[in-house]
Each structure stands twice: as structure tokens, then as C-alpha cells.
Chain A
Amino acid sequence: MGNEGGMRALILVGGYGTRLRPLTLSRPKPLVEFANKPILLHQVEALVKVGVTEVILAVSYRAEQMEQELTVEAEKLGVNMIFSHETEPLGTAGPIALARDHIKKSDKPFFVLNSDIICDFPFQKLIDFHKAHGKEGTIVVTKVEEPSKYGVVVYDDKKCIESFVEKPQEFISNKINAGLYVLNPSVINRIELRPTSIEKEVFPSMAKDNELYAFELEGFWMDVGQPKDFLTGMCLYLKHLRNSNQDKLYSGPGVIGNVLVDSTAKIGKSCQIGPNVTIGPGVVIEDGVCIKRSTVLRDAVIRSNTWLENCIIGWKCSVGQWVRMEGNTVLGEDVIVKDETYINGGQVLPHKNIGDSVRTPQIIM
């Protein structure tokens, strides 16, 4: 075991990100901008801040665009980025075994993150907690309202994990695995190089040996892997910005609540933007537009008098005048929506031309 450089982190990117289609048909999921920054960079930036010097991305497909773009971003952040390709899907634990040589370059604990998670990433506190208990692993846990939908984590007063219970019918805990871990390199010895689940196979055995602790996350947490949660996560993130970094939020005429607007976007007169809106670079919003609880991605155009709520507008889309879109509508890249149409819960694939209203939720191929 060596001691080369700083800490390592492994990010589980996995497959094609089908849950976030139609956006991921144009751009790999880690590059889809969440609050005007690729989802993955939210994590990488937070990792760099606590001294991570090498990030290993576990991906099950080759995406040259992603690798090129991320390498550029990694250089800017001064972090080494390594792409670890699975030839067959290895689950959530297999990729750790696959990346063992990279991880073992250092004897410091390493991070493992699910790539869809957004929170305020309190990594320093997490490391401190991990070092304080001195055992092999720490799982970040977060409180949820309806634990029966998830697997819950049961632990004692000292945060030592006792067991995991899948979809409990009777209440035993409201803490779930938040998909963020710190592990000692020794954990690699517990994982075989085969398709295997860290949650179902590795963690339960670590818990049995009293080697696993729970770190309770304060503040917001969201898995933004699908459109509905993407928007909910955005709301939580913007609220967090309001409390932590208010200057980043946009304020101007017609703005309501927490709104993030790229400096290169143009907003017309008599608009009502917000609450909970993100407007990407190069976006043009014409006069008299109302946007609520939506994300508008790079270079999209929203023409005058249009009303949007609960939408994700893809890159380079053109939305006509007097359009109404709502109900978790997602427009893929370069979709054109004609004047005066109504789209309710439409998932529109890239490069489509929408001329007729879509009144009930459906996929537009």
C-alpha cells in the first residue's frame, strides 16, 4: 500500500441514465446541468475542497464526449480524472474491486458516491467523523418522510450500524442510505471482482463485524436521476443557495423567490421568473414570459407571453408564443414548440417539432 498524493474518490456513474431521458439522449447524465453546472461537477468540486486529488469514474459505457469534457473540467479543478470502464455491469460494489489499483495507491480512506446525489456535501465533517470512530466504513444517512419506500438503516446511539431493513412495513427508522460513503482501503479485500451490490452484500457483513457507522446528513438531499426529482432537487438546492451563498442568486425586475440566471442569458420586459427557476447560459426569454419551478438549459429561446411550470427545457429548444407547458414536461435537445400549443407532462425526444397540443402526459417520439 502506498501513500501517493491526496485522497481518492470513486463515483458510480453506471449506465445510460435512461431515467433522465430524453435529456440523456443528447448528453451523458453526469454532464446534464443541474443548477447551471453539470451534475457530476457539484460532487467533484466538493471533493477537491477536502483534498481529493484523484477521481475515478466507474462507467459501463464509453462516451468520448463525456471523457473529453470532464478531463478539461478536471484540469481546471486540478484533479486527476480516471475512467474505469466495466466490460459487464458490475453493480454498486464490483466497480470498487475493478478500481482497486487506483484506490490502493493511497492508504487514506476513499469516498464512494452515487453520481445522481445532490446535497451540500459536508465531506470534511464526514472525514472527521470517520476518523473519530476509527472503523472501516461510514455511510451517510438522510432522513425521509416515508421510509417504507426505501431500505432503512438501523444503528445504535453511538451511530454504529446494526442492520439494514428493506422497505419496512412497521416503523423502525426514518434514516436511509444517502448513497455517499467513506471507506478504508481495507474494505477492498471484502469485495470480489464480480457483479455485486455494496448495499446488499458488502455493507451487511461490515455491519455484522461492527465496522460500519452512520453519518447523519443535515440539510437537503435528493436523488436527481429522474425529471420530477430533478426539479424537486433544484428547489432544495436553490433554497440552500439562498441560505449559504445568496449573491449567486439572481435579483431583477419580475423575479420571485430563488432564481438562478446565467450572466449571458437575456430576460425581456414584463416577465415573471420564479420561484425556483434556473436559466442557463445563452438563453433568451422574451417579453411577458412567466416561468415557475423549471430549468431552462443552455441556448434555449422562450418566446413572448408563454407560461411554464414544472418543466425542463432542453438545450437549444425554441418554445413559441402563448405556449403553456406544465406537469413535468421535459423537452429534449433542439425541440421546437409551435405558438399557442399546450403541453402537459410531455416527454419530447430531441429535434422534434411540436405543432399540436399534448393534453395528457405522454412520450413524443
Chain B
Amino acid sequence: MLKAVILIGGPLKGTRFRPLSLDIPKPLFPVAGLPLIQHHIEACIAVTNLKEILIIGFYPVTQLQQFINDMQSQYKVIIKYLQEFTALGTAGGLYHFRDQIRSGSPDAFFVLNGDVCADFPLTELYEFHRERSLTSLMTVMSTEATRQQSLNFGCMVVDKTTQEVTHYVEKPSSYVSTSINCGIYVFSLKIFNFMGETFNIKQEEYYKNDNGNVNKDAGYLQLEQDILTPLAGTGKILALQTTNWWSQLKTANSAIYANRHYLGLYKQKHPERLATGKKAEQCTIIADVHIDPSATIDSTAVIGPNVSIGPDVVIEAGVRIKESIILDSAFIGERSLILHSIIGRNSRVGKWARVEGTPSDPDPNKPFAKMENPKLFNNDGRLNPSITILGCSVSVPSETILLNSIVLPNKELSRSIKNEIIL
């Protein structure tokens, strides 16, 4: 029997995902028509003999309960939300809920960071780990990055023949390796012994040193610095390199990128989720597009590629949408153009409006390039070009242009906006 843990953090995390995370927890932000971590859940339930999924974070239960109920009824495995009393770090949460994870004695458990998106090769990862589980405590999924970008990730030196991780540094300041940690792991239960030792040492230090970090809880443990780094070189961590698509989802920019890739994955796995233009939605579709069945779309609209349209959205005549996410109950007035943008829940775009952003996709000319997560502002203090984001219940007047701008929720705009953040 197998289990999986999805680490989702809490409301103080994911600030770079604002304003989209202002009214919906980031793990529930819809990408390709599904809440972000539902893609994790689907990857987990595809693994044979996986019986339980535990979601760990410090969001209030009320924000996740409906989602957990929906998931529980949709999939035939046990899905639970375990709320940390405070931010315990990526390993602290695992250790805190170790009894829940250990109960029923699973052969192993997966751990998935909630803010990555990928074509998760979980079965492959488990098979690899199982064959080597006599000596190893964990297997990390790794992927290749560019030399320059590797510094933004956890870097691993991996022995080519044994695939042991011989050295691990989280976000090094100088080059270590182009093999990076994907935030996707499989653990043997024995890992809790090592976590326990580490936990005890940390506790002692915490109470011994008056100058300890008072902002962090005594049980605060980070998987990367507190577990991976010390275990590297002991022969107890292995790495499995994948060439599948993988990306972090830190900023709103990456939601458009993730949307495109998840839609692409539907072609093989869930073709029924892709719009064809032949069924209820009679408009022109340029693949890949996901349209919720409850959306109303005029037959003269042209949608795609890489567009997701949420429930109860209304799209009028002559609208063009490309590389964008339209969230539930949004309204797009006739003849408008939406390009590289996210339209928030309940927002309204008038007629002949142009809502346009600039994508920051991985450099297609560099092999293994990852999504850049540029800072919001450049060195001159000006806004870097980014996708355009409308928070929820924003209204855009007819005939205006919104270019590379971010509009916070509940704003009624009265003019065109270029390269601005509207509070």
C-alpha cells in the first residue's frame, strides 16, 4: 500500500501569486479547468495501490473543506486535509503528522510540493525506489536545468552509476550542478527515524540558544536544508532524472505556462476535457482549449490556443481569446481581444476592449530552460512586462486597452491602463 502527501503551505506563502491568491488559496487556483493540486491528486490516484492522499498546510480548514469533500467524492481514495497549527516547514509538517502517514504501514509515501506542476512520473519514481529501498531512505525526482538557472533551485550532484545524491545545496550562490530537485519525492517510512533525530537536535538548540529564531516554531524543519543536505553523500538518497515536462508555479505568469502544458497533457490522458467546437460550444476552437460546460459562448467567438474557460463564463460575439485563463462567472463583451491574460472571477470586460499581457515563457532556444520568475519591477523601478491579471470583480470599460497590468480585486476601471498596478 502507498500514500501520498501534498504540501501546500499557507496563506502567508504564495504572495508572488497575488492578486490571484487574494480571494482563492493558491493551491485551488484553476489551471486547465482544475484546481492546481487536483492535478497532483490525479497523478497520485493513477498509481496502483495508492490508498490515501494527505494534504498538509496551514490554510484554515474552512478554505479547503469544500474542495476536500469534492475530491473525496470524485476519487475513490481517502483524501484528508491536515492543518498545521503554524508554518512548520516542508519537513516539519511531515514529522508532525508522522503517525497519520505511518498508520496502516504503507510501503512508501510520495511527497509532492503543491507549487510545482508537471507530467508527474510517480509510478516510475516508485518502481525505481522500491528496487533500491534496502539501502535508500528516499528518491528525489530531478530534472536538468541550465547552468545559470540552476542557482534558483535545489542542486544535486548525482553519481552517474549508482544514482546516489552525493551533494545537495539549496539555491547555491555559485554553480554546483545542473541536476535540480523537482520537489517530488518518494520516502520509505524509515525516514522518520532520521527526521526524529534531526528534530530532537533542533529542539535542544532551540531551547539552549536564547538567540534562536523566535519567529519560527521549535518544530520547524526544512526538507531541503535539514534533511536532504545532511543525508547527501551517505548513500541514503537517490535521484531519478526525468525528462518529462516540469515547472514551478510561483508567479501568476507561470499559471499561463502551466495551463498550456496541462491542456497539452489532456490530449493523451483526458481528451474529453478539450473543446472541439463541435459540441455545445459551437465557436471556432484553436486547440488546445478547455471550456466548462456551463459557459455560454457565442458562435462567432474564436478561442485558443491554450485557453481555459471556467464555469458560468459568458463570451459574446466576435470575441478572440488566446493563451489565457478566464475564471468563473467572468463576462467578455463583444469584439474584445484577450491575450496572455488572466481574467478574475466575476470580472467584466466591455466591447472592443483589448486585454493583453506579455508572456515570460522559458527561452525556447535554450535546452532545459525553465520558467523565469522575474521580479515585479526592473532596476529603474518600472514594472517588468508581464501577463495582464484582473483580480475578481474588476470591470474594464468598452474600447480601452489594458497592457501588461495588474488590477487588484473589485476595481471599476475608467480608462486605458499600460504597465501599471492598480490598487
Q: Does B318 contact A (CB under 8 A)?
A: yes
Interface bracket on A: 10 to 19
Give the secondary structure class of A's interface.
Answer: loop
Report Cα–Cα, A251/B330, bound state, in Å.
Answer: 35
Chain B 390-401 interface mask (CB, 8 Å, partner A; 1/0)? 000000000101
Q: Give chain A residues whose Cβ lies under 8 Å from the Cβ of B318.
A: 270, 287-288, 304-305
Docked-complex contact B339 and A288, CB < 8 angstroms = no
Q: Contacts A288-B335, A290-B335, A322-B337: A305 and B401 contacting too (C-beta < 8 A)?
A: no
Docked-complex contact B320 and A322, CB < 8 angstroms = yes
Q: Does A340 contact B (CB under 8 A)?
A: yes
Report Cα–Cα, A288/B352, bound state, in Å.
Answer: 9
Q: Give chain A residues whose Cβ lies under 8 Å from the Cβ of B399.
A: 290, 307, 309
Chain B 330-343 interface mask (CB, 8 Å, partner A; 1/0)? 00001101010000
Q: Does A324 contact B (CB under 8 A)?
A: yes
Most chain B CB atoms below 10 A, which of A287, A290, A322, A340:
A322
Q: Does A121 contact B (CB under 8 A)?
A: no
Report Cα–Cα, A60/B88, bound state, in Å.
Answer: 83
Count the A-B residue pairs with Cβ separation under 8 angstroms: how many? 44
Q: Give chain B residues whose Cβ lies under 8 Å from the Cβ of A305.
A: 318, 320, 335, 337, 352
Q: Give chain B residues whose Cβ lies under 8 Å from the Cβ of A307.
A: 335, 352, 354, 399
Chain B 345-365 interface mask (CB, 8 Å, partner A; 1/0)? 000000110101000000000
Q: Does A342 contact B (CB under 8 A)?
A: yes
Q: Give chain B residues whose Cβ lies under 8 Å from the Cβ of A270.
A: 317-318, 334
Docked-complex contact B401 and A324, CB < 8 angstroms = yes
Expressed in whole angstroms, the minimum distance between the Cβ of A359 and any Cβ of chain B is 7
Report Cα–Cα, A343/B354, bound state, in Å.
Answer: 12
Expressed in whole angstroms, the minimum distance between the Cβ of B203 and any Cβ of chain A is 57
Q: Does A321 contact B (CB under 8 A)?
A: yes
Q: Give chain B residues whose Cβ lies under 8 Å from the Cβ of A340.
A: 320, 322, 337, 339
Q: Contacts A290-B335, A324-B337, A359-B403: A342 and B356 contacting too (C-beta < 8 A)?
A: yes
Expressed in whole angstroms, the minimum distance between the Cβ of A360 and any Cβ of chain B is 9
Q: Give chain A residues whose Cβ lies under 8 Å from the Cβ of B334.
A: 270, 288
Report Cα–Cα, A357/B317, bound state, in Å.
Answer: 24
Q: Give chain A residues whose Cβ lies under 8 Å from the Cβ of B351.
A: 290
Report Cα–Cα, A324/B418, bound state, in Å.
Answer: 14
Expressed in whole angstroms, the minimum distance between the Cβ of A325 and any Cβ of chain B is 11
**Contacts of A293-349 to chain B: CB distance below 8 A:** 304-305, 307, 309, 321-322, 324, 340, 342
Report Cα–Cα, A357/B354, bound state, in Å.
Answer: 12
Report Cα–Cα, A309/B401, bound state, in Å.
Answer: 12
CB closest residue in chain B, given A307: B352
Q: Give chain B residues whose Cβ lies under 8 Å from the Cβ of A287.
A: 318
Could you list 13 further interchain pairs (A-B, Cβ under 8 angstroms) beyond the known A272-B352, A290-B335, A305-B320?
A287-B318, A288-B318, A288-B335, A304-B318, A305-B318, A307-B352, A307-B399, A321-B320, A322-B320, A322-B335, A324-B337, A324-B354, A324-B401
Listed in ascending order, the chain A residues whose CB lies under 8 Å from chain B are: 270, 272, 287-288, 290, 304-305, 307, 309, 321-322, 324, 340, 342, 357, 359
15 contacts between A and B (CB under 8 A): A270-B334, A290-B335, A290-B399, A305-B318, A305-B320, A305-B337, A307-B335, A307-B352, A307-B399, A321-B320, A324-B337, A340-B320, A340-B337, A342-B354, A359-B403
Listed in ascending order, the chain B residues whose CB lies under 8 Å from chain A are: 300, 317-318, 320, 322, 334-335, 337, 339, 351-352, 354, 356, 399, 401, 403, 418
Question: What 8 A-B pairs have minimum CB-CB distances, sorted nearest first?
Answer: A288-B318, A305-B318, A322-B337, A305-B335, A307-B352, A322-B320, A290-B352, A324-B354
